[in-house]
């Protein structure tokens, strides 16, 4: 059993790590991996740092959690992280973000599920039917990607988890095509990238496949995972459940028209914060 002094030291390390990562996120900057004594070595430590960052934003910046990202957990890793209110954009014609070191927008094509009714924490698990009843619209979406580490390839999964899993925001697009029985596990993705008036647009094409096959799978897991931590989902929040095509590197200040197969389409420009 840990001594009181050890418990206090762990809390201090968690809060110190959270303060550093919160400052980097707020400023849009990156830095070295945290010093060894602050780096998380377990899921529990990493999640505690992540949630301490959320408390800092809620308390000092009035910037609460507005969305979550998740995937079904595997034996190797658990994917769960908050997205903050100030970093969520609703069908804006421009999408502000912090560019990559190459001056590009890094985004992931996703579907976003709206929470239309509160799902507070409780002692018994929610059924899939109960969760379905609490859902509202499904929107085409883009997760905005950025690490707060200079060398994210050297970060462990726990380092990344503490930092919010390379998330810097969420762009919410139009509601999913309302046609019944549309296939949402896969689609043909294309992105038309406008050049100047003298050049044809460039087109990026990919076969988009959801990493869990069924897009709601991670959502069902997330609701009950958060509930077990004493965390609820509230009306108006959104949940994204995995990229259909990895990370796309796209130019700034050029119109990009996204086509999610039969699911819908949208256009926007990425601009640097």
**Terminal-to-terminal C-alpha distance of the chain:** 47
Q: Each residue of 153-206: pLDDT tens digit?
A: 999 999 999 999 999 999 999 999 887 689 999 999 999 999 876 667 899 999
Per-residue model confidence as pLDDT tens digits over 63-112: 999 999 999 999 999 999 999 999 999 999 999 999 999 999 999 999 99
Report helix angle 4-27 to 43-61, nearest 10: 60
Q: How many CB atoms lie under 10 A from the CB of residue 165?
A: 22
pLDDT at 1 over 60: no
Average pLDDT of the chain to the nearest whole number: 96
Is residue 24 within 8 Å of 164, Cβ to Cβ? Answer: no
Q: Which domain holds residue 103?
A: 4-272
Task: Return the sign of the alpha-carbon dihedral for residues 32, 45, 168, 111.
Answer: positive
Provide the domain count of the chain: 1
Q: What sign has the CA pseudo-torsion 257, 83, 229, 80?
A: positive
Q: 146: closest CA among 165, 171, 168?
A: 168
pLDDT at residue 8, as a whole number: 86
How far is it, in rounded angstroms, from Cα 143 to Cα 169? 6
User: What confidence score (pLDDT) does residue 197 get?
Assistant: 64
Position 7 confidence tier, pLDDT thresholds 50, 70, 90: confident
The predicted pLDDT at position 177 comes to 85
pLDDT tens-digit series, residues 233-254 = 999 999 999 999 999 999 999 9
Is residue 215's pLDDT more than 70? yes
DSSP element (H, E) containing 6: helix 4-27
Percent pLDDT > 70 in the chain is 97
Question: Are the beta carbons of 117 and 223 closer than 8 angstroms?
Answer: no
Residue-level pLDDT at 102: 96
Greater pLDDT, 3 or 166: 166
Query: What is residue 116's predicted lDDT score, i.e. its pLDDT?
Result: 99
Res 180: pLDDT: 67
Please give the sequence-ordered ranges of beta strands (E in DSSP) within the chain, or none if there are none: 65-70, 80-84, 88-90, 94-97, 105-115, 135-145, 167-175, 186-193, 202-209, 238-240, 248-250, 256-260, 265-272
Q: How many helices (H) and strands (E) does the chain have?
A: 5, 13
Does the pLDDT at position 2 exceed 70?
no
To the nearest whole percent, how much of the chain has pLDDT over 90?
Answer: 91
Residue 41, helix vs strand vs coil:
coil
Contacts of 153 (CB under 8 A, 6+ apart): none
DSSP class of 29? -
Nearest to 166 by CA among 180, 154, 149, 181: 149
Region 56-65 average pLDDT: 93
CATH classification at residue 132:
3.90.850.10
Listed residue (126, 163, 123) closest to 29, CA to CA: 163
Radius of gyration of the chain (CA): 19
Q: Are 114 and 149 in contact (CB under 8 A)?
A: no
């Amino acid at each position: 059993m840990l001594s009181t002094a050890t418990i206090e030291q762990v809390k201090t390390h968690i809060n110190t790590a959270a303060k550093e990562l919160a400052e980097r996120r707020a400023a849009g900057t990156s830095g070295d991996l945290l010093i060894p004594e602050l780096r998380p070595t377990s899921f529990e430590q990493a999640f505690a740092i992540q949630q301490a960052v959320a408390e800092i934003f809620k308390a000092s910046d009035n910037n609460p959690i507005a969305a979550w990202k998740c995937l079904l957990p595997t034996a190797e890793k658990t994917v769960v992280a908050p997205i903050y209110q100030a970093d969520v954009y609703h069908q804006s014609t421009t999408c502000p973000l912090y560019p990559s070191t190459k001056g590009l927008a890094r985004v992931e094509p996703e579907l976003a599920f709206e929470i239309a009714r509160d799902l507070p924490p409780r002692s018994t698990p929610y059924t899939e039917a109960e969760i379905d009843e609490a859902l509202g619209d499904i929107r085409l979406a883009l997760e905005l990607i950025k690490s707060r580490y200079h060398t994210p390839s050297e970060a462990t999964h726990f380092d990344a988890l503490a930092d919010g899993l390379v998330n810097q925001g969420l762009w919410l697009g139009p509601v999913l095509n309302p046609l019944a029985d549309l296939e949402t596990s896969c689609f043909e993705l294309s992105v038309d990238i406008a050049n100047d008036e003298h050049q044809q647009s460039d087109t990026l094409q990919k076969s988009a496949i959801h990493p869990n096959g069924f897009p709601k799978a991670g959502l069902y897991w997330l609701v009950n995972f958060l509930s077990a931590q004493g965390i609820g989902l509230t009306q108006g929040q959104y949940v994204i459940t995995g990229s259909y095509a990895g990370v796309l590197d796209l130019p700034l200040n050029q119109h990009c028209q996204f086509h999610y197969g039969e699911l819908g389409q949208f256009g926007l420009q990425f601009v640097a914060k």
